Structure 1
Amino acid sequence: MSALTDMLADWMPGQRWFGGKGREWASVSEDGFFLDQSDPALSVHRVRVSYTDGHTETYLVPLSWRSAPAEDLASAFVGAVPGSQGENYAYDAMRDRDATVPWLTHLVAASTVGPMHFHPAGVAYIPEGLPGDVISTEQSNTSLVYGETAILKLFRRLEPGLNPDVEILDALRRTENKHIAPLLGHIEIDDTDPAQPPATVAMLQAFVPNASDGWRLATSSVRDLYAEGDLHADEVGGDFAGESERLGEATASVHADLARVLPTEPADRDWYAAVAAQMTERLEAALAVVPDLAEHGDALRALYAAVAETDEPVVRQRVHGDLHLGQVLRTTSGWIVLDFEGEPARPLAARRETDTPLRDVAGMLRSFDYAARHMLVEQPDDPQRAYRAQEWAERNRTAFCAGYSAAAPDITLSSESALLRAFEADKAVYECVYEARNRPHWLMIPLSSLSRLTSGD
């Protein structure tokens, strides 16, 4: 391997966006090109990591280059490689403000640089010339905010094909839906295999300033409830039910417009059977990781088997795919839904398939449960707090469903729905695996929800 490849192989496993943590590498290779050769120079690299289990992933790594160490960028330092005139110092270009300007310069110019193609949407102003500030809280991607105008999201893991976030926002642009932030452009890179379509590298979207994310607002409401020992959820000043109802309306509005501008198809018996089989397969895999799931195993299998036999009508369409309170923003004018790429861990082709809107509804209902119960982790044996958490969750779940149903009268959200209950349970099983591996003390949250879902309450 080259010095550059060695450097990247040492640095990547420590990055939050790298999805191969804990897996054994078989080999690594990279190819790159310069996107800008001013000072600092900006290069873009595709790093292909092959694992001993036979799988391969490709990551996008932009680097900025300096001839001397930059003390103010110590936290972004990647490494140094020898050059003809001494050491060249490489930094994470997404955290080097001086190296963030070229992305929008090329987008405005609709440039092609090497294998990379820049596609402006041509619908709004792009703040050319501004540096971008990195958002430090992201997991699988990296985003830069340019002033209060635009946000660039870099997709770290590359897959051939158009990213659903770009595809869906481009389609929704025709509807003028007020619950999305408009797409301003996107960037693609040609695959090294000419038979494969280009991969989406990044997208530029209108930035939503002065907004609060749904998770923070919801958990603030829960804290208000816990602080008022003698009041019910509907009596507390921070009652969130009105917002939950409006969020339901916004979600239904986005679903309706997705059905207008992207393909739909009625679900057939094979689809119901496939959904049930996938849920059961995930359950069996989860049981090997989370022994505490065993007490719910038979009830969950029966719940999933009911999906294969249900006569609930479903019109398949494009959906969000990973909807929860952290994916929505509350502005002065209403709710904005973000991040339509689906679950990043799933293959891109699977994320572009049609599905039922009930999957998104179930994801949001699970999020209300998490918001209500996250503080129970600190006091798991407090029955008064547990009662209040359940009361808050039920009030806001009901309000969300009421708002959704009012805006989408042809879709009935009922606790009797085998599909909705199964999608909630499937999500909770996924959460059990995540918590067991990452936050074992949080495992009680999805497990308690499974008790409710499998009991029919």
Structure 2
Amino acid sequence: MNYSELEPLWYKDAVIYQLHVKSFFDSNDDGYGDFPGLMQKLDYLQELGVDTIWLLPFYPSPLRDDGYDIADYEGINPVYGDRKDFRNFVREAHNRGLKVITELVINHTSDQHPWFDASRKAPPGSSKRDFYVWSDTDTKYQDARIIFLDSEKSNWTWDPIAKQYYWHRFFHHQPDLNFDNPNVRRAIIKIMKFWLDLGVDGMRLDAIPYLIEREGTNCENLPDTHAILKEMRKVLDEEYPNRIFLAEANQWPTEVIQYFGNSDECHMAFHFPVMPRIYLAVHQEDRHPITEILRQTPDIPYDCQWAMFLRNHDELTLEMVTDDERDYMYNAYAHDPMMRINLGIRRRLAPLLDYSRDKIKLLNSILFSMPGTPIVYYGDEIGMGENIFLGDRHGVRTPMQWNGDRNAGFSKALFAKLYSAPIMDPVTGYQAINVEAQNLDPSSLLNWMRSVIKLRKQHKVFGRGTLEILYPENRKILAYKRSFEGETVLVVANLSRYPQSVSLDLPDYAGVTPIEMFGLVPFHPITEEKYTLTLAGHSFYWLQLATNKVSPFAETAPLALKSVESQSIYVVDTVSSINTLLTSPFKKILENRIIPQFIRGQRWFGKKSKNVTSTKVNDWIDLSASTGLQSGMLVLEIHYSDGEMDLYNMFVALEIESQDSDAQALPSKAPAIIAELTDKDRKAILYDALDNEKFNAGILSYITEDKRIRGQVGFVESFKLPAFEVISAKGELASPVKRVESEQSNSSIIYGNRFILKLFRHLEPGLNPDYEISRYLTETSPFSQVPAAAGVLGYTNPRLATLYTLGLLQEYVQNQGDAWSYTVAEFRRYYERCSTKATLLSKMTPPAVPLSELVNIEPPEEVFELLGVYIKDAAKLGARTAEMHIALGKPSDLTAFQPEPISRNELIDISSTMRYDVVKVFKLLEQKVRTAEPDLVNSIKSLLLYRPKVVDLLDRLATINEELTKIRCHGDYHLGQVLYSGGDFFILDFEGEPSKPLELRIAKQTPLKDVAGMVRSFSYASYASLFLFTHNRAEDLEAFLPWAKACEAWSSASFLKGYLQAMEGSSLVPSDRSDFFRALLPFMIDKAFYEIFYEVNNRPDWLRVPVSSVLEYLKAGAFYSEEY
């Protein structure tokens, strides 16, 4: 490992895994784990996500204290291996990016150490005798406490050979070294350098508060102890940069911080007092134990770090709690005296928490989100149990449970030879709880631990951020914020076993949409009011408090409710009505100041990148009589600096302060406020009328009246269509009337479970194709899988003799969301299944045949096992797509819908247009390749080499044998334009690509363009779900790419199979399969190159999706059997 290139503060972002070599894996079947065995399991640790391994003592030892009684500091206990094995282990760990921390037990040795043997035999006063602390009496240092009261009566023990007492702070067989002797300090530094030379990345300094003894003190935390640590640190920094010391000092935080010094002693130190208080807080269902100890924890130097843990190899120490707290902990967690040892509890994490998965996840969520570096004790990631009937602390040091085979898969030795029996009880025994079983279960604790570890590692805020504790009224809720370099994470944990609601004061984040970090799910936005959350029992949230910028992989975020504050309150002559307002001088202020600012914050305004030079209210129509509110529609003329002009509509309402109200009567309509007004008598607000339920209900009533309302220039007209009565006859209109918040270029209003009104905000002359096609498929050529067209709103400008479509009323289809969301969710579950069934990849990989042949192959049962019912759903969507095209392709008396053959010259024109667009994208890629990410450069270079072949394939469109037909098509067909409803699909949004002019969107074209759009959508869905699945495990992305390709291939083939079967006998597409795929390929390439153009300019991280797809398409025989 090149330590000079290592991030100096790497330990702040680390996740440490603590293990004992003897407990992990036995490679030679002698009953003991060893270094070769540990080396075989490094891949497991890498997959877990940890990046640092902390090894318990592995030195030669009589093992009376499980290795902390060291007999040779520079040796390896033979049962664990030898130095060569250790060097190999360190090398392999480093090759995987794993660091290694070992124990430097410097306070004491075993009484079997050669140093002690020499010391006890040397004459008093000699250098060898002074290697340890000797006395003629046992009365010195009486103020020092006895740590192990269970087994030791004194800190002095008589040695019959030396004929003196020797000092020991722990067991009597562990004599303390004498650090007043310079030879001892030199010897310890020599040992330190020995292991650092072997590649160790850090050292845990065991029991360092007790290095020095002084009369009249408690012999803990003495100044001379710190002088020794500074001496060791100086050597470390000078000769071994970027290695670390981890201090074990079981003291109060105000004393522990001394071991950081001025960043010249230890880099890290354990935070012992916080650990038992986490358990206290959960059992008491009160945050106080945690918040109080954190409040009392002093700040530490920036380059120092706390080490946090829930359990480890020792007892759950209760030294740093009050007597009352200790009694409570014993009663709550160690009712059986066998569970207690010294001043602590000898139990593992899972049994301490009654094996409750929710409590285990809750405590880990606190561990991984608190300030400090988290430490995971081996086996806790799978919920291993304990054996309290084993002596000392051996009950939490049993063999790792790898599988349900003999000896838990830890060793093939005879059971009697094992250093310890594995856990074998029916609840937590190795046959019930083991790595292999949990690997196969996507919802297992092990897989959850992998996700939380990887999520933490992606956000430096957890290891380096500041802490701000929140104090909501509900004391059962623990809440705090972590902040670092512009990122803030809100952690909210329910310490109660019952559901809880909490209200948090977050005024500084008003307008922000919190993102739940595990699923990238947007929560409702924060407002100036208290932010309310509801949590299930023992649950938690990690919420990223970023601005309303949602990951491209997440579902669409709801509309932010941040107040739009006016620069000022506008004074007008009167606020009596919409008409008086728009005929007053205020109209100029509205046009010049207010509207330009307001529209930039609206999602329906699609030209935010353009410079608006002026806006004008071209016309307004008073809708007050129809809606029962002072309201109207404005026709806005918006001019840009490039000379272009657009028309938009805006619905406004006026709310006037009540004359007889004692208090201000204006409601809070923060997201919709356009302007605040006042005259000499009262105040008013002008706001977006679509936020008012009464206004929206009035619009529906107006549509039913087939009525015309005149404005200043033109008029608005409404017509109900024949389907309106049919839909209305199904029952009463259900409440509520609701505006759809996730709107984009249009605005939509849902009327109970009967109707949905889509309002087209950008006005274009002519009939909107969504209205045209929806009505055609409702009345003329019925297709049941579109929402029926029930009514229409139009605006006419007589001066220009121009009609504009304002809105389309359709039947509301009960649904489970759009097909994009459904598909991404299903594909994400697919990847979760794949993660536990890696051996099925070969079965899942499609055979190496052209797509034209793959559609005829029945997928193997493994495809159905992993993709589930989605394979059949994709085929059904293909069939519905074909049925749509057949309905649109029937002979018609309407010229706009009459199918027409595509002439050879038209095909040449189509391929020429495609070629022009593709050449433009190739030029863009030539520039992009210079700045692309390294892993993308080779793909772009490969694609650039294919330029002649791409052009040739596009030109071949004109050589198709069978005649192609053009019809009215969807025009912008992808999974987001389809609703998933009860196992079936409804197709909607027939506007075409919004960026294209209307004349192109209503033009007839081959159905193959719709087919290509949907197949490309499957490609994007497979990758979007993969990005979601790996967002906490980015290092797994490459490994899952073959699964993504298989997912895309089988779902696309299933869709095409369903489409082709339903199109049997239709002349709309080539009946010959080879011709069909030969004709489809150019449209696939054209669509993919459009995506490349878009991604280069908008989402460079997604560029690999269309680039890799095109490279796949260009492989010889990818689409049809002939070479191309």
Question: Distance between the aligned counterparts of 1:129 and 1:223, measured in 2?
Answer: 35
Bigger CA drift: 311-320 or 417-426?
417-426
Is 2:1091 aligned against 1:436?
no
Counterpart in the other structure of 1:255: 885
Is 2:801 aligned against 1:195?
yes
TM-score norm. by structure 2 comes to 0.39
Query: 5 Å matches for 1:41-56?
Result: 41-56=630-645
Is 2:620 aligned against 1:32?
yes
Contact 2:971–2:1009 (Cα < 8 Å) also in 1: yes
Contact 2:776–2:782 (Cα < 8 Å) also in 1: no
Q: CA deviation at 1:140?
A: 1.1
Contact 2:789–2:809 (Cα < 8 Å) also in 1: yes
Counterpart in the other structure of 2:182: none
Is 2:57 aligned against 1:57?
no
Counterpart in the other structure of 1:277: 912
Could you say if the C-alpha distance between residues 213 and 172 of structure 1 is closer, same or farther in structure 2, counting changes exceeding 3 Å? same
Contact 1:36–1:102 (Cα < 8 Å) also in 2: no
Question: Distance between the aligned counterparts of 1:148 and 1:226, measured in 2?
Answer: 35
Contact 1:224–1:238 (Cα < 8 Å) also in 2: no
Is 2:610 aligned against 1:4?
no
Bigger CA drift: 206-215 or 352-361?
206-215
Deviations for 1:420-442, whole angstroms, at most 9, x for unmatched residues? 11111221222223223332212
- Paired residue type of 2:721: A
Deviations for 1:227-277, whole angstroms, at most 9, x for unmatched residues? 123244332263411001111111111110111242111001221122112
Q: CA deviation at 1:301?
A: 2.5
**What SS does structure 2 have at the residue aligned with 1:417?**
helix
**What SS does structure 1 have at the residue aligned with 2:889?**
helix
Could you say if the C-alpha distance between residues 191 and 303 of structure 1 is closer, same or farther in structure 2, counting changes exceeding 3 Å? farther
Counterpart in the other structure of 2:790: 184
**What SS does structure 2 have at the residue aligned with 1:354?**
coil
Question: Distance between the aligned counterparts of 1:112 and 1:16, measured in 2?
Answer: 29
Say which of 1098, 1103, 1111 aligns to 1:451: 1111
Instruction: Report which of the two has the higher share of helix.
Output: 1
Question: Distance between the aligned counterparts of 1:339 and 1:433, measured in 2?
Answer: 24
Could you say if the C-alpha distance between residues 314 and 369 of structure 1 is closer, same or farther in structure 2, counting changes exceeding 3 Å? same
Bigger CA drift: 352-361 or 64-73?
64-73
Question: Distance between the aligned counterparts of 1:35 and 1:129, measured in 2?
Answer: 24
Question: Distance between the aligned counterparts of 1:430 and 1:237, measured in 2?
Answer: 29
Q: CA deviation at 1:309?
A: 3.9
Question: Distance between the aligned counterparts of 2:872 and 2:967, measured in 1?
Answer: 28
The CA RMSD over aligned residues, in Å, is: 2.5
Say which of 414, 420, 425 aligns to 2:1085: 425
Question: Distance between the aligned counterparts of 1:29 and 1:288, measured in 2?
Answer: 40
Counterpart in the other structure of 1:138: 743
Bigger CA drift: 362-371 or 117-126?
117-126
TM-score norm. by structure 1 comes to 0.92
Query: 5 Å matches for 1:229-268?
Result: 229=834, 230=837, 231=840, 232=844, 233-236=863-866, 238-260=868-890, 261=892, 262-268=897-903
Query: 5 Å matches for 1:7-406?
Result: 7-30=594-617, 31-37=619-625, 40-68=629-657, 70-81=666-677, 86-114=682-710, 115-123=715-723, 124-125=726-727, 132-173=737-778, 174-191=780-797, 193-196=799-802, 198-229=803-834, 230=837, 231=840, 232=844, 233-236=863-866, 238-260=868-890, 261=892, 262-287=897-922, 289-290=924-925, 291-292=928-929, 295=944, 297-332=947-982, 334-377=984-1027, 378=1031, 379=1034, 382-406=1037-1061
**What SS does structure 1 have at the residue aligned with 2:722?**
coil
Contact 2:961–2:1075 (Cα < 8 Å) also in 1: no
Could you say if the C-alpha distance between residues 131 and 116 of structure 1 is closer, same or farther in structure 2, counting changes exceeding 3 Å? farther
Q: CA deviation at 1:288?
A: 5.4
Deviations for 1:303-330, whole angstroms, at most 9, x for unmatched residues? 3222244444211101101111111122
Contact 1:100–1:131 (Cα < 8 Å) also in 2: no
Structure 2 stretches of 5 or more lacking a match? Answer: 1-586, 658-664, 845-862, 930-939, 1119-1124
Question: Distance between the aligned counterparts of 2:800 and 2:1035, measured in 1?
Answer: 56
Structure 1 stretches of 5 or more lacking a match? Answer: none
> How many pairs were matched up?
456
**What SS does structure 2 have at the residue aligned with 1:118?**
strand
Deviations for 1:351-384, whole angstroms, at most 9, x for unmatched residues? 1111000010001000110111114444487343
Question: Distance between the aligned counterparts of 1:297 and 1:3, measured in 2?
Answer: 55
Q: CA deviation at 1:62?
A: 0.8
Contact 2:787–2:812 (Cα < 8 Å) also in 1: yes
Contact 1:221–1:240 (Cα < 8 Å) also in 2: yes
Deviations for 1:385-407, whole angstroms, at most 9, x for unmatched residues? 11111111111111111111111
Deviations for 1:109-162, whole angstroms, at most 9, x for unmatched residues? 011111111010032345779663111222211111110111000011111111
Deviations for 1:324-343, whole angstroms, at most 9, x for unmatched residues? 11111222362211111111
Could you say if the C-alpha distance between residues 84 and 428 of structure 1 is closer, same or farther in structure 2, counting changes exceeding 3 Å? farther
Could you say if the C-alpha distance between residues 403 and 40 of structure 1 is closer, same or farther in structure 2, counting changes exceeding 3 Å? same
Bigger CA drift: 416-425 or 261-270?
416-425
**What SS does structure 2 have at the residue aligned with 1:236?**
helix
Contact 2:605–2:745 (Cα < 8 Å) also in 1: yes
Counterpart in the other structure of 2:48: none
Bigger CA drift: 286-295 or 429-438?
286-295
Question: Distance between the aligned counterparts of 1:84 and 1:184, measured in 2?
Answer: 46
Aligned-pair identity (%): 29
Bigger CA drift: 354-363 or 79-88?
79-88
- Paired residue type of 2:1043: R
Could you say if the C-alpha distance between residues 388 and 333 of structure 1 is closer, same or farther in structure 2, counting changes exceeding 3 Å? closer
Question: Distance between the aligned counterparts of 1:71 and 1:283, measured in 2?
Answer: 54
**What SS does structure 2 have at the residue aligned with 1:406?**
helix
Contact 1:248–1:403 (Cα < 8 Å) also in 2: yes
Deviations for 1:14-55, whole angstroms, at most 9, x for unmatched residues? 211211111122332112121125653221011111222222
Bigger CA drift: 283-292 or 344-353?
283-292
Q: Which has the higher contact order (CA 8 A, sep 6+)?
A: 1
Contact 1:226–1:388 (Cα < 8 Å) also in 2: yes
